[in-house]
Structure 1
C-alpha cells in the first residue's frame, strides 16, 4: 500500500481544499470521502484512510476544520464537493463515490448523505441526533427522512452522547427516506468503538459490506 499523502488541491473554478489520501496498490474500486473527527486529520483518520485503500478504495480526507470551531454544514458540503471533484478528475464515476465518517465526521456524513446523491454513505457513532452539535447544523432526526444517498448508521449503546432511544428515533426517521437505510446498534460499544474490539471489527466489516453492495 502506498503512503498517505497530503496535498493542496485547487479546482479549475477556484475551489480549494487540503487533502490527505491513500491510493490502493491495485485496481481502484471507487472513491471514498473520509470526513474527519473533531481535532482534524488525526492518526486515527490516517489509519482509516489507509485501511480503506487496503480494501481497494481511493480514500481521501478533506481538511475541513482543524481549529476546533463548531461544525458548519456549509463548510462540510463545500469541502466534500471539492473532494468529489478531485476524485472525478482521477477517473472515479459518480456511482462509485461514497462518504464515511466516524464520531463528529459521522454527523457530517449524514448531512452530506441528505444533501448530495452519492452511491453510499456510512456514519459510525455520530452525535447530534436529537440536538444539533452546533447552531449551523440541524438535528439529524430532522434530516434523516430526506436522505438521498443509501445510508448505514452504526452506533454503540455504551456511553457517549447518543442513547439507544435516540438511535431508534433516528432509525425511524431514516426509514422514511426513499433510499436504502440501515441502523445497527452494539450494546457493548461506546461511540468510538474502542470499548469492544469485537464490535469494532464487526462494524468495520459492515462498513465495507455496505460499500461493496452499493458502489458497483
Structure 2
C-alpha cells in the first residue's frame, strides 16, 4: 500500500483545506480526486486513495467538512451528526474545494486530460455534478445519492445534471437502489456527448460492497475506466 499523508492548503476565505494524498512509488500516470462519503475521510476513503496510488495515480482527497466547527466526523458520530454536517454543505464551497484539489494536481504537473474524479455515496453525487461543470479526463460515481430528488436545495438531481456531462462517466450502483431511478440516470447520462456506462451489482445488504466479489469486480472496473480514458 502507498504511504498516505495529509497536508493543508490555505484558501482565500481564510480557512484551510486539508488534503489526504498518496503518491505512486513509480511513474505517475495521472491524478484522481477522491470525494469522500457522508462520514468524511474514513479509513475506507484512505484505502481508495492508497489503492489508486498503488495503481500509478497521484490521488488526493479534499476534506469537505472544514468551514464549520465540527470539521471532522469520527466513527462514533451519530447519524444525526452526519446528516447535520451534510446539510451544512454549500454547493459553491464544494465546487471551490474540488477546484483546489484539481489545482493541487495541476501544481504537481498533471494535465487536465489525465485528471479524474471518483466519489462514493455523497462523494459519488458530487463527482457527477463536478463532471457536469468542469472539463477533465474521466469521472466515476459509486452509489451516488439524489438520483431523482436532490439531497440539497443548492444542487440539481443527478438525472438533471447527467445530460451535461463533459467527460466519460461510469456509474456503479447496487440492486438495493431504486432500479427505475438508476435506469433513468443511465438514459439521462446517455444524452451527454461523451462515453457513459452504468453497472448494477447484486447486493447482500444495503450496498453492493457487502459482497466481496462484487466489490472486487467494481474496483477493477474503476481502474479500467481511468486506464481507458485518462490518456
TM-score by length of 2: 0.87
Work out the number of aligned pairs and report it: 213
What's the counterpart of residue 37 of structure 1? Answer: 37
> Which 5+ residue runs of structure 2 have no aligned equivalent?
66-70, 73-84
Q: Among 109, 120, 128, which residue is 2:146 paired with?
A: 128
Secondary structure in 1 matching 2:24 = coil
> Which 5+ residue runs of structure 1 have no aligned equivalent?
none
TM-score by length of 1: 0.92
- Whether 2:115 is the aligned partner of 1:97: answer yes
What's the counterpart of residue 69 of structure 1? Answer: 86
Runs of 4+ in 1 over 6 A off after TM superposition: 11-15
What's the counterpart of residue 47 of structure 1? Answer: 47
Q: Is the CA contact (8 Å cut-off) linking 1:156 and 1:189 kept in structure 2?
A: no
1-side partners of 2:109 and 2:204: how far apart? 38
Provide the aligned C-alpha RMSD in A: 1.9
- Whether 2:104 is the aligned partner of 1:83: answer no
- Whether 2:58 is the aligned partner of 1:58: answer yes
Q: Is the CA contact (8 Å cut-off) linking 1:27 and 1:56 kept in structure 2?
A: yes
Q: Among 171, 191, 194, which residue is 2:209 paired with?
A: 194
Structure 1 position 211, deviation (Å): 0.2
